[in-house]
Structure 1
Amino acid sequence: MKFISTLIGFIIFVLFFGFALKNSQEVDLQLFLHYELRGPLVLMLLGFFVAGAVLGVLALTPTVFRHRREANKHKTTIHTLQASAQQANRQPQPDSVNTQ
């Protein structure tokens, strides 16, 4: 399985490397206030891809922390219930009274 994943990773790398070699021409990126960035198309695409990935991770951060907080709350509830169940098992039960 490791060989297959390594092979797939190598194939993807070769494809992206070929894409980079084919798209090495200079491009101009017009920004606000008459700013202009000039660079290879591949670097521009890579930069925007990384920026999108970072924004995606930042957008998910509150959800991840909320789920962690809820999981910790559930863990403490489980520990509390287990402790109370153990405490109840330790206390001797009164003998039942037969009224025959």
Structure 2
Amino acid sequence: MFKKIQEKNSKLNCLVQCAGIGVAFRCYNINKRSMHSMEEFNRVMNVNVFGTFNVLRRACHIMADNQPDTNGQRGVIINTSSIAAYEGQIGLFLLNYLWE
């Protein structure tokens, strides 16, 4: 994707990241005696954490070639996040813990 952006536009001035997924499961369901799926947890982490980082590093690589503006900036990056960090749902225990 970034290669196409660079070929078509030669530079990148702004990145807005909105990607994110969530799965609402309990860490452990005592009634079903089942644990949260590590596969689902890894999928969420791959998209939300590793995917976000990967997009950031690729955007920075392209923006580094931009000429600095009058404030010395080479581009703008906006990352969005979720309200779930403040208003937790079942299964989003990690987000609630991080913001306490």
Give the structure-1-normalised TM-score: 0.31
Between Structure 1 and Structure 2, which shows a larger proportion of helix residues?
Answer: 1
Q: Tell which structure's C-alpha radius of gyration is larger.
A: 1
With normalisation by structure 2, the TM-score equals 0.31
